[in-house]
């Protein structure tokens, strides 16, 4: 607990507004003189008796701006250490003090809201943040926190309301987030068979973000459900053209749509694959080529791709095909299987998606990053292009 006291000082300083211009030494000198009980409280901290220290701090009859600042710093520190119950006790006590300045009370309310969020008490946190917005205190941060709560609770309509308030307050538009909220509402409508409701939400998403790829994707699925294969193919191909990230999401539905249309899947996939490096597209194309033109043609196709792109999944399929191909000298199969084992081992450890914002790695597409909560930042990890002589570049 000794480190708690010393940690407290930098936390207080880092918190900006209340210690920005003050000398920590002056604070240490002033506090014990003005508040003898404070020194005892700090001693309890030094003696690793945090609950005794908190009891003493909470019993102080007078909480002026100086002591309130230290309470805030202490509460914030406990929360950061994961000791949310202690943080809540401190911040609750502060909020209940009648003579606190509006600004300090607002800060204490915000901190208490953060504590409640940390403890998973989202309803209580929501009430506090709403109170702050009503009071006009720390409105922007309170609205951000409310947006996070509503996102966690998947209350997309409320997310839209808060986003509109944030846009007004900051003057900054949030088209990506708002389009995703409409898409979430569209997916909910689809789940309850409300096609008309889903279409309304998708048109709203488009109004906010005209090139919203998620809306295009959902429109494609709805077109396929309506047996409008031509429209579905057009929409899914538009999604694929937007990049490798979205290919796995729509590829099976795209192939089904092309088949329903009675057109050649290989021709469609070849055209799409010429425009980008998506390994999923190449794997699907390779499978189709193997079925229609034979394994040699599929091997040639994959070899051409691997000459340009260093992708493990395509390499794995290539080696698998090779291990099942001709074996004139009796060794080719064994060698291919050894290489296949290595490729499969490495493939299992490879992440397929990553967040461009925080670096989070995932094996499935997330519209909202599970780590940093950003929308639309999770993208496919693309294969590196092969440049020149790969072996020579290793020297």
Positions that interact with Zn ion (CB under 5 A): 355, 357-358, 360, 369, 371-372
Minimal distance, residue 360 CB to Zn ion, in Å = 4
What is the helix (H) or strand (E) element at residue 361, kind and residue range? Answer: strand 361-362
394 vs 200: CA distance, rounded Å: 55
Residue 378 near residue 365, CB atoms below 8 Å:
yes
**Starting from the edge strand earliest in sequence, which strands make up the sheet with 378-380, in order?**
361-362, 353-355, 378-380
| Of residues 255 and 378, the one with the C-beta less far from Zn ion | 378
| Of residues 261 and 372, the one with the C-beta less far from Zn ion | 372
Minimal distance, residue 254 CB to Zn ion, in Å = 28
| Of residues 132 and 159, the one with the C-beta less far from Zn ion | 159
What is the helix (H) or strand (E) element at residue 173, kind and residue range? Answer: none
Minimal distance, residue 381 CB to Zn ion, in Å = 14
Minimal distance, residue 129 CB to Zn ion, in Å = 23
| Of residues 107 and 246, the one with the C-beta less far from Zn ion | 246
240 vs 218: CA distance, rounded Å: 13
The three-point CA angle 335-339-343 to 5° equals 165
Please name the residues in contact with 25: beta carbons below 8 A apart, sequence gap of 6 or more: none
Q: Annotation-wise, does 210 bind a ligand? A: no
Say how many Å lie between the first and final Cα of the chain, rounded. 53
Minimal distance, residue 261 CB to Zn ion, in Å = 38
Q: What is the DSSP letter of 375?
A: B
| Of residues 116 and 181, the one with the C-beta less far from Zn ion | 181
Minimal distance, residue 76 CB to Zn ion, in Å = 24
In terms of Cα–Cα distance, which of 211, 278, 223, 282 is closest to 254? 223
Phi, then psi, of 48 in degrees rounded to 5: 60, 45
For the chain, how many residues are written? 395
330 vs 307: CA distance, rounded Å: 26
| Of residues 109 and 378, the one with the C-beta less far from Zn ion | 378
Q: Annotation-wise, does 372 bind a ligand? A: yes
Minimal distance, residue 355 CB to Zn ion, in Å = 3
In terms of Cα–Cα distance, which of 377, 311, 390 is closest to 350? 311
| Of residues 147 and 317, the one with the C-beta less far from Zn ion | 147
Please enumerate, by residue number, every residue annotated as part of a binding site: 355, 358, 369, 372
Please enumerate, by residue number, every residue annotated as part of a binding site for Fe cation: 355, 358, 369, 372
């Amino acid at each position: 607990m000794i480190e708690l006291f010393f940690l407290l000082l930098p936390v207080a300083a880092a918190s900006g507004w209340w210690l920005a211009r003050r000398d920590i030494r002056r604070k240490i000198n002033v506090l014990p003189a003005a508040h003898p009980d404070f020194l005892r409280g700090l001693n309890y901290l030094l003696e690793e008796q945090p609950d005794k220290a908190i009891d003493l701090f909470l019993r102080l009859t007078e909480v002026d701006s100086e002591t309130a600042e230290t309470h805030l710093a202490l509460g914030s520190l406990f929360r950061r250490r994961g000791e949310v119950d202690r943080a809540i006790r401190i911040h609750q006590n502060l909020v209940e003090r009648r003579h606190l300045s509006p600004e300090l009370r607002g800060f204490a309310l915000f901190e208490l809201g953060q504590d409640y969020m940390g403890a998973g008490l989202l309803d209580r946190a929501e009430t506090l943040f709403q109170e702050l917005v009503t009071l006009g205190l720390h409105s922007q941060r309170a609205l951000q926190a409310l947006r996070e709560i509503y996102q966690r609770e998947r209350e997309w309509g409320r997310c839209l309301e808060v986003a509109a308030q944030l846009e007004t307050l900051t003057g900054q538009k949030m088209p990506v987030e708002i389009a995703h909220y409409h898409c979430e509402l569209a997916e909910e409508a689809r789940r309850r068979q409300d096609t008309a409701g889903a279409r309304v939400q998708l048109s709203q998403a488009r109004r906010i973000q005209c090139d919203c790829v998620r809306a295009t994707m959902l429109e494609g699925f709805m077109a396929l459900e309506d047996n409008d294969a031509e429209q579905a193919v057009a929409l899914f191909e538009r999604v694929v053209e937007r990049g490798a990230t979205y290919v796995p999401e729509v590829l099976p539905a795209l192939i089904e749509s092309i088949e329903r249309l009675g057109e050649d899947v290989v021709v469609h996939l070849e055209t799409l694959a010429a425009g980008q490096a998506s390994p999923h597209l190449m794997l699907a194309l390779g499978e189709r080529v193997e079925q229609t033109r034979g394994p040699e043609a599929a091997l040639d196709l994959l070899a051409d791709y691997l000459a340009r792109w260093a992708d493990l999944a395509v390499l794995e399929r290539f080696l698998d095909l090779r291990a099942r191909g001709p074996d004139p000298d009796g060794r080719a199969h064994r060698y291919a299987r050894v290489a296949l084992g290595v490729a499969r081992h490495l493939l299992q450890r490879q992440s397929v998606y990553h967040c461009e914002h925080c670096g989070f790695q995932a094996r499935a597409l997330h519209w909202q990053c599970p780590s940093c909560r950003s929308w639309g930042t999770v993208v496919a990890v693309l294969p590196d292009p092969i440049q020149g002589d790969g072996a020579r570049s290793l020297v």
